[in-house]
Amino acid sequence: MPARVVFAANAIEHLPREIEQLGARRALVLSTPQQEALATDISKSLGQRSVGVYPHAVMHVPIEVARKAREEAVRLGADCVVAAGGGSTIGLGKAIALESGLPILAIPTTYAGSEMTSIYGLTEAGIKKTGRDPRVLPKVVIYDPFLTVDLPAAMSITSGFNAIAHAAEALYAENSNPITTMMAEEGIRALAQGMPEVATHPRDLDGRSDCLYGAWLCGSVLGTISMALHHKLCHVLGGTWNLPHAETHTVILPHAMAYNYAAAPEAMRRIERAMKTPNAASGIFDLMKQLGAPLSLREIGMKQDDLDRAASLVMEAPYYNPRPTTRESICGLLDDAFFGRRP
Ligand code: NAD
């Protein structure tokens, strides 16, 4: 990957050096409103190299938010953006970079993985469009496990399953290769090891480091190869019904694995080895249950009446998938996910 990665407890201290090495002098620091204090601390630590904080990132990068942030970057004469937060904040950085070409320094504080991809998303009139552009791939990524200890345990767990989903689908992608396969299996292993630790000791650095290392691997494979049915389902459910991103990935994952189980035996053996479970689909479900994750679409806001329409939307423009998809089979998968049945 062309990005430079700095990974260490307290790695945030190296941000001024990293900005200097990029030849930049005027950083605009981005965050969500919830993480403004972090952005302000970062801005202060940069002294004259910071032109200010823009704490207005929100989920799915609405075009109006992107436009205002782009205007602010121009007004302040920013020559780089520092995106400190999860996928929403890094997504806003990407929206700025897409238009201006400004380099992004990403400081991820969740496990979503956007920092490792050249994929961007923008939402206009309620429709989320995604694309790929090399300009939006961060130039530097700083992984600092200390910055993740405040991510609440429940969010950490769903974010971890979001990362596992990237790796699980990478294992049966149509364009997978031996290197991404190795990275995907190791990413799942690291997260499956770290997540129980994070659930019980959220401030412990070992579990946090395992999860962040897993997120790096899972984000890298997401950025390298194409995804399948699981990501299509989550894109439709998140985009059309505004379901929460990481929770949706969590609830769908065991059912997507059950759906593809017989069609992707090698991928399933790797997931089973990484998670130390005899069955990839039920093993993921059982870990979700053990860690207190949501298990059903109904508990995260989906209406049963909308399942049919969701299946139709998935079938309108299906992704490649190892097992062929039909409207009926997708309805069955969604019904299982709606009620949270153990696969
Ligand atoms: P998020 O960025 O929306 O964060 C969720 C909430 O958690 C926010 O309020 C945030 O401020 C808070 N938060 C984040 N880290 C925290 C921490 N360490 N401590 C306390 N609070 C913290 O959630 P996400 O799941 O990281 O990102 C979801 C978005 O990212 C979606 O829009 C998704 O489509 C996008 N995404 C994009 C890609 C890509 O490659 N382009 C990849 C994955 C996700």
Cβ proximity of 39 and 31 under 8 Å: yes
Nearest-10 Cα torsion for 156, 280, 278, 153: 10
Taking only Cα atoms into account, the Rg of the chain, rounded to an integer number of angstroms, comes to 19
CA distance 156 to 287: 14
Q: Which amino acid is at 248?
A: T
Pairing of strands 27-30, 80-85: parallel
Query: Which residue is listed with tokens 């992608």?
Result: 173
| Predicted local confidence at residue 52, as pLDDT | 97
CA distance 92 to 137: 12
Whether residue 260 has its Cβ less than 6 Å from ligand 1 = no
Tens digits of per-residue pLDDT, 46-73?
A: 999 999 999 999 998 999 999 999 999 9
Give residue 108 CA to ligand 1 midpoint distance, Å.
9
| Predicted local confidence at residue 317, as pLDDT | 85
CA distance 145 to 125: 36
Our mutation pick for probing the ligand 1 site, out of 12, 92, 96, 109, counting the most ligand atoms within 8 A of Cβ, is 109
**Positive or negative CA dihedral for 115, 1, 232, 103?**
positive
Pair of tokens at residue 96: 């700025």
In the chain, % of residues over pLDDT 90: 95
DSSP 147: G
| Predicted local confidence at residue 177, as pLDDT | 97
Pairing of strands 119-124, 127-132: antiparallel
Pair of tokens at residue 107: 């400081």
Q: Is 293 exposed, middle or buried (0-12, 13-18, 19+ CB in 10 A)?
A: buried
Phi-psi region of 341 (alpha: psi -120 to 50; beta: other; left: phi over 0): beta
| Predicted local confidence at residue 274, as pLDDT | 98
| Predicted local confidence at residue 125, as pLDDT | 84
CA distance 182 to 121: 28
| Predicted local confidence at residue 1, as pLDDT | 56
Whether residue 87 has its Cβ less than 6 Å from ligand 1 = yes
Cβ proximity of 237 and 165 under 8 Å: no
Consecutive sets of 10 residues in the chain, 343 residues long: mean pLDDT of each? 89 98 97 98 98 96 97 98 98 98 98 98 86 97 98 98 98 97 98 98 97 98 96 93 96 98 98 98 98 98 97 92 96 98 98
- Residue 238 CA, closest ligand 1 atom number: 34
Of all protein residues, whose CA lies closest to atom 33 belonging to ligand 1?
87
How does the average pLDDT of the chain come out, rounded? 97
Cβ proximity of 30 and 92 under 8 Å: yes
Cβ proximity of 186 and 217 under 8 Å: yes
